[in-house]
Amino acid sequence: MSGNFKKDLFAQFARVAKALGNGHRLELLEFLAQGERNVDDLARVSGLSVRNTSQHLQQLRQVGLVTSRKEGLHVYYRLTGDDVVLLMQCVRGVAERHLADVKVLVDTYLTVKDALEPMPVKDLLERARKGEVTVLDVRPSEEYAAGHLPGAVNIPLAELERHLDELRDSGEVVAYCRGPHCVLAFEAVERLRGQGLRARRLQDGFPEWKAAGMPVETE
Amino acid sequence: MSGNFKKDLFAQFARVAKALGNGHRLELLEFLAQGERNVDDLARVSGLSVRNTSQHLQQLRQVGLVTSRKEGLHVYYRLTGDDVVLLMQCVRGVAERHLADVKVLVDTYLTVKDALEPMPVKDLLERARKGEVTVLDVRPSEEYAAGHLPGAVNIPLAELERHLDELRDSGEVVAYCRGPHCVLAFEAVERLRGQGLRARRLQDGFPEWKAAGMPVETE
DNA sequence: TGACTATTCCACTAATCTATGGAATAGTGT
DNA sequence: ACACTATTCCATAGATTAGTGGAATAGTCA
């Protein structure tokens, strides 16, 4: 009897893990970590067909990782809680530490990583308040509108070149994007440095910031 | 290119999650969280065939969650790090908070849960030092030998009745076992209370204790 | 009302995962 | 060398999962 309890319980836990056991679903979750999104948006960013996306979202909903809300024609999905982001960070962390393939991948694509001197999250707010740094959000403007770090300036990567002058006069720039492996901030920092500005990357992205209970600003 | 990086990376993370996406493997990991075990032991406790157990262990090894060490005829498996325990706690926590089925299960089997007043981990050591409580490890003696809370007394559940008198004179008893859902400690507390002793359950089990970096004693 | 959009449901094929039995490997004891 | 044990490797049948197209549903707009 208690043996069955245990088996049943682990089977339930396994359902949650299984829902995470697919790269596409993880990607969807990462986008949802930034705020509500409808099926169409999610399909676009993940490169899946809408129907397929919908099915994956059903699965995530069945294990309680996301919920949805209908408004007009659209159905908006969102994470059921910040603990889901934490869980994903956990998976990511274990993978990075114990899975050799991940290390290879990261080394291959982000060889410059160390050179970009990521700034720890906790130092940021204080230094921003003192005016020592400008916080730069390089995500697309819709994502920025849905929520961003307090006081952050939004300049999507594509428009970075047009705003170089504004940034040049404002001390050091700290860029962030969707998460520690999102390439947007890396790219931004490289370009800014290429133009002679002082630029660094924030260690984590917006979802991690939010999940840590730090203050968030919306439009 | 950077799109591929992202896809590849998530695919790797998904491998880890997928490895956790099976109740049997989660159960194996839970046992391994207590220390090294060989294939035979693991097969016995999980109720799987040895061959099947071996295959599951291969899968866990392939994603870096466990390693093995050969000694004589036996191959001993162990977790690759405490972060694996943390990851499992994370999965469990999310499942408990967001998956209705888990709540039903827990309520069905452990209706008495609240009545047993679990004691928070942080209070325990201090109160044990003052002699206010006796820490009771109700796991089988091999598991106790492999590691236990400092100062804990080991009385496997089956032998509890024979040692009632010793416990009766030692103030309040705090029992723990393999984890928050292991039924051993629940059972023990119920029996002790049935005999008129003051008994409570420790909130977590040995693996969580160890993963939290608390001191551990071995034979 | 009818045309249209966003999303879901259903059915089906290809790919993947699980458990099992037989055979291979490696180490122990005689 | 031989018998024996613990573990792994391999092949296979049945179950499960992923992606696709077609049809259904629900809400919007004119």
Residue B125 lies in a domain: yes
Given A87, A93, A181, which is nearest B91 (Cβ)?
A87
End-to-end CA distance of chain A: 54
Given A83, A105, A187, which is nearest B97 (Cβ)?
A83
pLDDT at B117: 64
Please state, as a whole number, how many other Cβ atoms lie within 10 Å of the Cβ of residue B90.
Answer: 23
Residue B219 lies in a domain: no
Q: Active-site residue among A32, A138, A177, A188?
A: A177
User: What domain count does chain B have?
Assistant: 2
Of chain A residues 153-192, which have a CB less than 8 A from chain B? Answer: 181-183, 187
Q: B130 and B179 in one domain?
A: yes
Residue B175, domain CATH: 3.40.250.10
Average pLDDT of A19-34?
Answer: 92
Query: Whole-angstrom Cα distance, residue A24 to residue A29?
Result: 9
Which segment of A104-108, A133-137, A213-217, B113-117 scores lowest on mean pLDDT?
Answer: B113-117
Q: B157 and B79 in one domain?
A: no
Nucleotides in chain C with any atom closer than 7 Å to protein CB: 5-10, 17-23, 26-28
Residue range A54-80, pLDDT digits in tens = 999 999 999 999 999 999 889 999 999
Q: B37 and B124 in one domain?
A: no
> Angle of helix B100-109 relative to helix B82-98, nearest 10 degrees?
90
Given B27, B83, B97, which is nearest A10 (Cβ)?
B27
Ramachandran bin of B6, using left for φ above 0, alpha for ψ from -120 to 50, beta for the remaining angles: alpha
CB A56 within 8 A of CB A22: yes
Residue A73 sits at the chain B interface (C-beta within 8 Å): no
Residue A22: closest CA among B177, B74, B13: B13
Residue B12 sits at the chain A interface (C-beta within 8 Å): yes
Q: A22 and A114 in one domain?
A: no
Kindly state the helix (H) or strand (E) to which residue A90 belongs, with its residue range: helix A82-98
**Residues pairing with A175 in the sheet:** A136, A201
Average pLDDT of A85-100?
Answer: 92
Question: B58 CA to D8 C1', in Å?
Answer: 9
pLDDT at B2: 43
pLDDT at A74: 93
Residue A207 lies in a domain: yes
Residue B37, domain CATH: 1.10.10.10
Highest mean pLDDT among A10-14, A131-135, A172-176, B7-11: A10-14
CB contacts of A12 in chain B (<8 Å) are 95, 99, 101-102, 105
- Residues near B72 by beta carbon (within 8 Å), at least 6 away in sequence: none
Amino acid at B56: H
Closest protein residue to D25 (Cα–C1')? A73
Please state, as a whole number, how many other Cβ atoms lie within 10 Å of the Cβ of residue B117.
Answer: 11
Is there a catalytic annotation at residue B177? yes
CA of B5: which chain A residue's CA is closest? A109
Show pLDDT as tens, one digit a residue, over chain B (219 residues). 344 677 888 999 999 999 999 999 999 998 898 889 999 989 988 889 999 999 999 999 999 999 999 998 899 999 999 999 999 999 999 999 999 888 877 766 554 444 456 667 777 888 888 878 889 999 988 889 889 998 899 998 877 867 877 888 777 888 999 888 787 888 788 778 766 678 888 888 898 888 888 889 987
CA of B108: which chain A residue's CA is closest? A5
CB B143 within 8 A of CB B136: no
Query: Whole-angstrom Cα distance, residue A174 to residue A20?
Result: 31
User: How confident is residue A193, by pLDDT bands cut at 50, 70 and 90?
Assistant: confident
- Residue given tokens 């160390």 in the structure block: A114
Average pLDDT of A23-43?
Answer: 91
Q: B136 and B63 in one domain?
A: no
Confidence check: pLDDT of A171 > 70: yes
Residue B192 lies in a domain: yes
Query: Residue A118 has which token pair?
Result: 């990521």
Q: How far is A130 from chain B (nearest CA, A)?
A: 35
Residue A136: closest CA among A159, A106, A110, A114: A159
Closest protein residue to C28 (Cα–C1')? B73
Last residue of a domain, one of B50, B84, B118: B84
CA distances for A82 relative to A65, A86, A204, A213, B6, angstroms: 10, 7, 15, 9, 22
Sheet of A199-201, strands arranged across: A153-154, A133-137, A172-176, A199-201
Q: B115 and B205 in one domain?
A: yes
pLDDT at A17: 97
Closest protein residue to D4 (Cα–C1')? B73
Q: B68 and B137 in one domain?
A: no
Residue B61 sits at the chain A interface (C-beta within 8 Å): no
CA of B95: which chain A residue's CA is closest? A13
Closest protein residue to C5 (Cα–C1')? A73
Q: A70 and A150 in one domain?
A: no
Residue A218 sits at the chain B interface (C-beta within 8 Å): no
> Is the Cβ atom of A173 within 7 Å of strand C at any atom?
no
Average pLDDT of A149-174?
Answer: 83
Domain that holds residue A194: 110-211
Q: A77 and A160 in one domain?
A: no
Q: B70 and B114 in one domain?
A: no
